[in-house]
Amino acid sequence: MIEREEMPYDVVVVGGGPAGLATAIRLKQVDPELQVCVLEKGSEIGAHILSGATIDPKALDELLPTWREDGCPLAETPVTDNWHWHLTKKGKFSLPHIIQPPFMSNKGNYTGSLGNLCRWLAEQAEALEIEIFPGFPAAEILYDDAGAVIGVQTGDMGVDREGNPKGDYQPGMNLLGKYTVFCEGARGHLTKRLKAKYDLEANCQPQIYGIGIKELWDIPADKHVPGRVIHTQGWPMSENDAWGGGFLYHQANNQVALGFVTALDYKNPYIYPFEEFQRWKQHPEIRAILEGGKRVAYGARAINEGGWQSVPQLAFPGGVLAGCSAGFVNVPRIKGTHTAMKSGMLAAESIAAAIKAGREQDTLQEYDDAVRSSWIAKELKLVQNAEPMVAKWGGELGTILAGADMWLRTLFGFGLAKPMKHHTDASETQRADLYKPIAYPKPDGVISFDRLTSVSYSFTNHEEDQPVHLKLKDPSIPTQVNLPVYAGPEARYCPAGVYEFVDADGSGPKLQINAQNCVHCKTCDIKDPTQNIEWVTPEGGGGPNYPNM
């Protein structure tokens, strides 16, 4: 038995993103005497945060009303100009704002770095005497004899690839709380275990996802329009019976954030999300903005796309889910920061009241009820059929139907259909023999790039001599099933080149896992057609180090 240090708190928050930090701040606002800690697996707050991002400040206004005057970096660039383009292969046409529901407008929103917003929120949290531990991933859930969550265990440090302690070995700590809040982001590995243990998805649809791949560019000043927001749909995904869309946001200091989201329910296993992004950048309208500029950062992250019908039970003995662990992204708006923060605030209010009443480690049903009666629910119910309609009927007809459904819900409170169902992204993948391989163009090194060069711009680093954090449940499946049946999709859906099939000794292909490349996007855990890959936390501080994403 390893002897581990124990640290007791009133509340343990897992994840230093917007939801986790909002939870911690609201707890201290309600009761300054509460002892609160925040665990963050990244080397610093913001290191693993990646989003577009155009942010609705609604929750931030509620949490910290004077944020605009208090030095928050998000205040620097309000949205000034909003475009929605439908792309063809060589051209575009703009979708008029008048045909879109009012909530699709970006008026009053801000564009900037979500990572920098989290860094600023962390400063506000520390001023309230909240303890923040970057570089400490929550690796295991701790339970009492009755099965209630009593905290988490951080990962061990200094373990070699075979699992043996090295000279600098440090055992993880047990952080114990009266309540534990899980804010791990999309597809959190502990959240997966909690959903299974407590059957939290018994009464909802399965969560589905997109993979968002993003770059930051410095562009010439004469091309930069601070606050301009552009969203695109149509080409190139329209060519491959799949769907997704691009974004390009003019942020501060002559910089643009651009990226492409590919819905992971695609059927054709030859689809290569990274290459779809590279093709999108070569569209004449996008290339015209980037020419003369310089790429400065790259990254990727999975995005919840299930909507309201995929929100699970949020409370269980000793803990709650908040933020993207629960899945509050408004897919048509491409926004989830405001809903994530609001869920954390509601969790904090329920937890503070429970602790004041002398309760601990019970089920906070009042938090679940509060979310379902909040503006989170109202907003997400308006758009709950948008994603499934596009997924079912395709980009063009699906968009028309989704628009009609959103308008009806906005004006009359009902839609074209009842809340539609989902199928898991993994189960949607079809056999390779039903499709032809896709010939993607070679990168030009100016606008489009290769994958491994791109990963270097994520500043990813993992200690090489540590256990591989991408676990194969059955090591034979990649070569016996995935390669012959699905043409080895893991070599394409990963945006960081973690998986490749190699034949080093001539004995046949084997799956090589380059875990040091991993940017923690979780796509492999989601899209693997046999669900044979499980993502777990690597050694603390490992992964991307996003500077301004």
Return the active site residues.
51, 301, 337, 494, 518, 521, 524
- The alpha carbon of 509 is separated from its chain's Cα centroid by a whole number of angstroms, namely 32
User: Between the CA of residue 293 and those of 85, 215, 288, what are the distances in Å?
Assistant: 22, 12, 10
- What are the tokens at 450? 């290769």
Write the Ramachandran bin of 208: left for phi over 0, alpha for psi from -120 to 50, otherwise beta: beta
Q: Among residues 376, 372, 380, 353, which one has the least CA distance to residue 26?
A: 353
Instruction: Report the DSSP beta bridge partners of residue 91.
Output: none
- What are the tokens at 298? 């790259």
Q: CA dihedral defined by 130, 136, 140, 144, rounded to 10 degrees?
A: -30
- What are the tokens at 235? 């080409």
- What are the tokens at 316? 């269980």
Q: How far apart are CA 222 and CA 220, in angstroms?
A: 6
- Residue 376 gets which letter from DSSP? H
Q: Among residues 296, 301, 302, which one has the least CA distance to residue 456?
A: 296
Within a 13 Å sphere around the CA of 516, how many CA atoms are in the beta-carbon half? 9
Residue type at position 152: V
394: number of Cβ within 10 Å:
16
User: Between the CA of residue 427 and those of 193, 267, 438, 529, what are the distances in Å?
Assistant: 20, 9, 21, 6
Q: CA dihedral defined by 462, 465, 471, 472, rounded to 10 degrees?
A: 130
User: Between the CA of residue 450 and those of 56, 256, 275, 446, 496, what are the distances in Å?
Assistant: 34, 20, 9, 11, 10
Q: How far apart are CA 458 and CA 498, in angstroms?
A: 14
